[in-house]
Chains A and B, each alone.
Chain A
Amino acid sequence: DAGVTQSPTHLIKTRGQQVTLRCSPKSGHDTVSWYQQALGQGPQFIFQYYEEEERQRGNFPDRFSGHQFPNYSSELNVNALLLGDSALYLCASSLYGSSTDTQYFGPGTRLTVL
Chain B
Amino acid sequence: GQNIDQPTEMTATEGAIVQINCTYQTSGFNGLFWYQQHAGEAPTFLSYNVLDGLEEKGRFSSFLSRSKGYSYLLLKELQMKDSASYLCAVSPDFNKFYFGSGTKLNVKP
Contacts and interface: CB of A to CB of B under 8 A. Distances in A.
> Are A and B interaction partners?
yes
A31 B98 CA distance: 17
B100 A42 contact: yes
Given A90-B43, A102-B45, A103-B97, 18 more contacts: A42-B87, A42-B89, A42-B100, A42-B102, A43-B99, A45-B96, A45-B98, A45-B99, A48-B95, A50-B95, A55-B95, A56-B93, A90-B42, A99-B50, A100-B48, A103-B45, A105-B35, A105-B44
B3 interface: no
Interface string B4-22: 1000000000000000000
Interface in A1-50: 4, 31, 33, 35, 40-45, 48, 50
Contacts, number: 56
Interface residues of A, number: 26
Contacts of A35: 99
A42 B42 contact: no
Given A43-B87, A100-B48, A105-B43, A56 B33 contact: no
B28 to A, nearest CB: 12
19 contacts: A40-B102, A41-B102, A42-B87, A42-B89, A43-B43, A43-B87, A45-B98, A48-B95, A55-B95, A90-B43, A96-B95, A99-B30, A99-B50, A100-B48, A100-B50, A102-B45, A103-B45, A104-B45, A105-B42
B39 to A, nearest CB: 10
Contacts of A100: 31, 48, 50
Contacts of A55: 95
B44 A56 contact: no
A100 B30 CA distance: 9
Given A43-B87, A100-B31, A107-B42, A31 B95 contact: yes
B41 to A, nearest CB: 7
Interface in B16-61: 30-31, 33, 35, 41-45, 48, 50
Interface pairs A-B: 5 shortest CB-CB: A42-B99, A105-B42, A102-B45, A56-B96, A42-B101
